[in-house]
């Protein structure tokens, strides 16, 4: 089968399209013919070695497709079932072995391309808005990179919970998409000298209840300065680079605020929590309160272009690789 293989860490060029042996499912696993593999920022960290994995490996944690074989003892899924997953390495391939513990049945009416790009960002947006800072009716929150994969999902979840979204973006086109997803206010942070002052102006001086910040280095200071007293800064990523060490005293000065650096795996650690979040994501898609906007589709062999586009700030919404 064709698969993307990383044999040494580096830039997008180390994503090599290769012919490899098709995997076989072991006990408690299913073999899936991949219809779509989601591209996520974490895949770029696996590629560069910022989050090291043993070499060689096939990247990609997320995807969806049809079960073509089941391993020993599997009773939950059968050949022909449509499944999606958000935390199984090896998704950039024509076939992927997925443990039953990570597989979620795709409901009728949800397209496999959408399902393949739904769970990782969808469940992350779910835990950020339901667990890290549970959004309440009328809360104003700040969502950075609001036209990105995470940003669009966060914006829609916050709006469904009755919150008010102030989004940040870099371009006019991204502003349009953020507004379409429901953002109430959009700030072009690349054109603003004092982002926190702008947030305060939009909240009558109060500041926001929470900031969902996946941008990191370039936004952190403004994020902290945008919070209301006892607000929550959920720093969930670092698209612009890592945040330097922080003196805890700054949290006092900012108004007894809370800083957390959460990640998905700690929010889907049990099967019960995984099925709750995945179920909510697929239900929201089916009901139309969550639209996964696939902004870019690439053949498997063009995974390098997908990574370069994502890291080059040229994308909007979700990126997917289509193996065939």
What is the Rg, in whole angstroms, of the alpha carbon atoms belonging to the chain? 20
Q: Is the CB of 25 or the CB of 317 nearer to ligand NDP?
A: 317
By CB under 6 A, tell whether 238 contacts ligand NDP.
Answer: yes
CA 278 to chain centre: 13
Name the residue with tokens 């013919």: 33
Q: Are 149 and 172 in contact (CB under 8 A)?
A: no
Q: Are 163 and 140 in contact (CB under 8 A)?
A: yes
The per-residue DSSP string of 1-69 comes to -EEEEESS--SGGGEEEEE-PPP---TTEEEEEEEEEEE-HHHHHHHHTSS--PSSB---SEEEEEEEE
Determine the interface stretch with ligand NDP among 11-19, 20-28, 103-111, 231-239 (rule: CB under 6 A).
231-239
Q: Is the CB of 63 or the CB of 237 nearer to ligand NDP?
A: 237
Q: Is the CB of 25 or the CB of 149 nearer to ligand NDP?
A: 149
Number of continuous H segments (helices) and E segments (strands) in the chain: 10, 15
By CB under 6 A, tell whether 151 contacts ligand NDP.
Answer: yes
CB of 29 to ligand NDP, least distance (A): 24
Task: Select from 106, 147, 181, 211 the one that contacts ligand NDP (CB under 6 A).
Answer: 147
Q: Is the CB of 51 or the CB of 230 nearer to ligand NDP?
A: 51
Determine the interface stretch with ligand NDP among 14-22, 37-45, 52-60, 85-93 (rule: CB under 6 A).
37-45
Alpha helices, DSSP H, located in 38-164:
41-48, 112-116, 119-127, 149-160
CB of 183 to ligand NDP, least distance (A): 12
By CB under 6 A, tell whether 64 contacts ligand NDP.
Answer: no
Instruction: Point out which residues pair with 64 in neighbouring strands.
Output: 36, 84
Q: Is the CB of 31 or the CB of 195 nearer to ligand NDP?
A: 195
By CB under 6 A, tell whether 40 contacts ligand NDP.
Answer: yes
By CB under 6 A, tell whether 260 contacts ligand NDP.
Answer: no
Determine the interface stretch with ligand NDP among 52-60, 73-81, 106-114, 261-269 (rule: CB under 6 A).
261-269
Determine the interface stretch with ligand NDP among 66-74, 103-111, 118-126, 297-305 (rule: CB under 6 A).
118-126
In 3D space, the residue among 80, 79, 96, 78 whose CA is nearest the CA of residue 88 turns out to be 96
Instruction: Point out which residues pair with 306 in neighbouring strands.
Output: none
Task: Select from 88, 124, 129, 226 the one that contacts ligand NDP (CB under 6 A).
Answer: 124
In 3D space, the residue among 213, 257, 210 whose CA is nearest the CA of residue 235 turns out to be 213
Distance CA 48, CA 44 (A): 6
Name the residue with tokens 């698209």: 239
Task: Select from 209, 237, 300, 320 the one that contacts ligand NDP (CB under 6 A).
Answer: 237
Alpha helices, DSSP H, located in the chain:
41-48, 112-116, 119-127, 149-160, 172-180, 195-202, 220-225, 249-253, 271-287, 303-311
Kindly identify the residues of this chain, within the stretch 205-224, that bind ligand NDP according to CB under 6 A: 214-215, 218
Q: Is the CB of 150 or the CB of 225 nearer to ligand NDP?
A: 150
By CB under 6 A, tell whether 315 contacts ligand NDP.
Answer: yes
CB of 195 to ligand NDP, least distance (A): 12
Q: What is the 8-class DSSP label of residue 93?
A: B
Q: Are 118 and 40 in contact (CB under 8 A)?
A: no
Chain residues binding ligand NDP by CB under 6 A are 40-42, 120-121, 124, 145, 147-151, 169-170, 174, 214-215, 218, 236-240, 262-264, 310-311, 313, 315
């Amino acid at each position: 089968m064709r698969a993307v293989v990383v044999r040494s860490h580096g830039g997008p060029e180390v994503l090599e399209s290769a012919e490899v042996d098709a995997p076989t499912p072991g006990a408690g696993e299913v073999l899936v013919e991949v219809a779509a593999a989601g591209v996520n920022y974490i895949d770029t960290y696996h590629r560069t070695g910022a989050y090291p994995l043993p070499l060689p490996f096939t990247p990609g944690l997320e995807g969806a497709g049809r079960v073509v074989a089941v391993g020993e003892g599997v009773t939950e899924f059968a050949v022909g079932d449509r499944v999606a997953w958000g935390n199984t390495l090896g998704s950039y391939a024509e076939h992927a072995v997925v443990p039953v513990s990570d597989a979620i049945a795709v409901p009728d009416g949800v397209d496999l391309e959408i399902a393949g790009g739904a769970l990782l960002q969808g469940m992350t947006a779910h835990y950020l808005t339901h667990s890290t800072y549970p959004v309440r009716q009328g809360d104003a929150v700040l969502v950075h990179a609001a036209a990105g994969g995470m940003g669009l999902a966060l914006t829609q979840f916050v709006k469904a919970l009755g919150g008010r979204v102030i989004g940040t973006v870099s371009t006019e086109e991204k502003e349009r998409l953020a507004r379409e997803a429901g953002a109430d206010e959009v700030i072009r942070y690349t054109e603003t000298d004092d982002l926190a002052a702008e947030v305060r102006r939009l909240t009558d001086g109060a500041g926001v209840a929470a900031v969902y910040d996946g941008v990191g280095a370039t936004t952190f200071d403004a994020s902290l300065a945008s919070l209301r007293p006892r607000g929550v800064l959920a720093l969930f990523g670092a698209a612009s680079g890592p945040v330097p060490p922080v003196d805890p005293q700054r949290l006092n000065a900012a108004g007894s605020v809370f800083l957390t650096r959460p990640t998905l795996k700690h929010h889907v650690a049990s099967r019960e929590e995984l099925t709750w979040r995945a179920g909510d994501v697929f239900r929201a898609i089916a009901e139309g309160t969550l639209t996964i906007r696939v902004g870019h589709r690439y053949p498997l062999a063009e995974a390098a272009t997908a990574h370069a586009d994502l890291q080059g700030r040229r994308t909007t919404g979700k990126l997917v690789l289509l193996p065939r």
